[in-house]
Amino acid sequence: MSQLLDNLNPEQLAAVTLPPQHALILAGAGSGKTRVLTTRIAWLIQNGFCSAQGILAVTFTNKAAKEMLTRLSAMFPINTRGMWIGTFHGLCNRFLRAHHRDAGLPQLFQILDSGDQLAAIKRLLKTLNIDDEKFPPRDLQHFINGQKEAGLRPAAVEAWDDYTRRRVELYMEYEAQCQREAVVDFPELLLRSYELLERNEPIRRHYQARFRHILVDEFQDTNRLQYKWLSLLADGGSEGGASLFCVGDDDQSIYRFRGAEIGNMRDFERDFRVQRVIRLEQNYRSHGNILDAANALIGHNTKRLGKSLWTDRGPGEPIRVYEAFTDSDEARWIVEEIQSLVREGTSRADIALLYRSNAQSRVLEHQLFSSGVAYRVYGGLRFFERQEVKHALAYLRLIANPDDDTAFTRVVNFPTRGIGARSLEALQDAARVWNTPLYQTVPHLSGKPAAALGQFVALIERLRLETRDLPLHEMVDHVIEMSGLRAHYQLEKEGQERLENLDELINAAANFSAEVGAGPAPGEPAPEAGSVLAEFLAHASLEAGDHQADAGAEAVQLMTVHAAKGLEFDVVFLSGLEEELFPHGNSTQEADGLEEERRLMYVAVTRARQRLYLSFAQSRMLHGQVRYNLRSRFLEEIPEPLTKWLTPPNPRRSYVSEPSPRHYSQGAAKPAAPSMPPPPPQRSRDLGGFAIGQAVTHARFGDGVIIAAEGSGGDARVQVKFADAGAGSKWLMLAVAKLTPAS
Q: Which residues are catalytic?
A: 33-34, 217-218, 252, 607
Q: Is the peptide bond before 415 cis (omega within 30 degrees of 0)?
A: yes
Show contacts of 714-719: CB within 8 Å, 24+ apart: 716/686, 716/687, 716/688, 717/628, 718/687, 718/690, 718/692
CA 542 to chain centre: 27
Contacts of 217 (CB under 8 A, 6+ apart): 33, 34, 37, 57, 58, 59, 60, 64, 247, 248
H and E: helices and strands count for the chain: 28, 23
Q: How far apart are CA 399 and CA 215, in angstroms?
A: 58
H-run or E-run covering 256: none
Q: Give the span between the Cα atoms of 459 and 394, in whole angstroms.
A: 14
Residue from 291, 270, 269 nearest 282 by CA? 291
Angle subtended at Cα 389 by Cα 581 and Cα 124, rounded to the nearest 5 degrees? 105
Which H, E and C letters describe 203-233, residue by residue? HHHHHHHHCCEEEECCHHHCCHHHHHHHHHH
Task: Say which amino acid occupies 673.
Answer: A
3-state helix, strand, coil in the chain (%, to 5): 50, 15, 35
Q: Is the peptide bond before 10 cis (omega within 30 degrees of 0)?
A: no
Q: How far apart are CA 498 and CA 486, in angstroms?
A: 9
DSSP H stretches of helix in 628-718: 633-636
Strands (E), 526-641: 556-560, 569-574, 608-622, 625-628
Separation in Å, CA 499 to CA 106, 386, 539, 568: 42, 12, 21, 30
d(CA 367, CA 617): 15
C-alpha angle 67-68-69 in degrees, rounded to nearest 5? 90
Provide the sign of the torsion angle of the four alpha carbons 454, 386, 126, 154, taken in this order.
negative
CA distance 181 to 188: 14
Write the burial class of residue 180 (CB in 10 Å: 0-12 exposed, 13-18 middle, 19+ buried).
exposed
| Closest listed residue to residue 293, CA positions, set 636, 33, 648, 581 | 636
Angle at 192 (CA atoms; ends 190, 194), nearest 5 degrees: 70
**Is the Cβ–Cβ distance between 258 and 284 less than 8 Å?**
no
Closest CA to 397 of 300, 319, 475, 331: 475
Q: How many Å apart are CA 208 and CA 189, to the nearest integer?
A: 19
Q: Which residues contact 486 (CB under 8 A, 6 or more apart)?
A: 480, 499, 502
Residue 291, H or E segment: helix 288-298
Provide φ and ψ at 407, rounded to 5°: -65, -40
